[in-house]
Amino acid sequence: MLLIPAIDLKDGQCVRLRQGRMSDATRYSDDPAAMAAHWLEAGCRRLHVVDLDAAFAGEPRNQGCIADIVRRAGAVPVQVGGGIRSLETAAAYLEAGVAAVIVGTAAVRDFDFLERLAARFPRQALFGLDARGERVATDGWDITTDASVLELARAADALPLAGIVYTDIERDGMQSGINAAATLRLAAALSTPVIASGGLNDLNDLAALKAADEQAGNLLLGAITGRAIYAGTLDFKQGQALLDA
């Protein structure tokens, strides 16, 4: 399992939100590319980047920062989400060296879009399933839809996706522990790799997630970490070493 550092971009800065609220943002760096270099030096093997401004605007807002991060990352894959609501936007990111694009709102609103995206860019798209309970949230988590997380995930499972990023919104940025039970229930129902997200706090949380995953049959591709590694409650090197052990 990979421990995947998150770099969330707002107004060209690296920030972290609580439960997706733009009004509750903590700024950690004015130089996102330097922050990426820090995690690369710590040994990360994948980076998770979200354009928060784009998630609300519906179109890219921090392309320059993302291009700088991709250049710094070199051979380390970078997955990017936030405001990717057209094939043209996805293509531009992939042509710029992004390894995989993450789509959520556009896919929930129009599942045909996810089908077209996966067909055009097989294994280069991830479906971002942002859950509030058993329902999917969209538009930067502002709107909770009637769409079922499990039903959408099963529909997406038939597509040539790179994976599904499952986020428990109520835990995101709260450092209250990943919702391992819900994440693994979802992963067990799918053949598509699942990445856990939302709530990771410390090595104990990570150890518990690893143990649950091993008991379930090693279903998870990785776990995204944000506020914990920035606040210092989780040491990235120790976390990845624990997962590698």
Which tokens sit at 126?
Answer: 């991830």
- Single-letter amino acid code for the residue at 167: T
Which tokens sit at 176?
Answer: 């209250």
Q: Given phi > 0 = left and psi -120 to 50 = alpha, else beta, which region is 37?
A: alpha
Residues 195 and 184: their CA atoms lie apart, in Å, by: 10
Catalytic residue among 8, 168, 172, 213: 8
Residues 199 and 219: their CA atoms lie apart, in Å, by: 19
Catalytic residue among 51, 53, 130, 205: 130
Beta partners for residue 196, in sequence order = 166, 223
Q: Are 174 and 228 in contact (CB under 8 A)?
A: no
Q: Are 81 and 104 in contact (CB under 8 A)?
A: yes
The distance from CA 97 to its chain's CA centroid, rounded to whole angstroms, is: 18
Catalytic residue list contains 168: no
Catalytic residue list contains 53: no
Catalytic residues: 8, 130
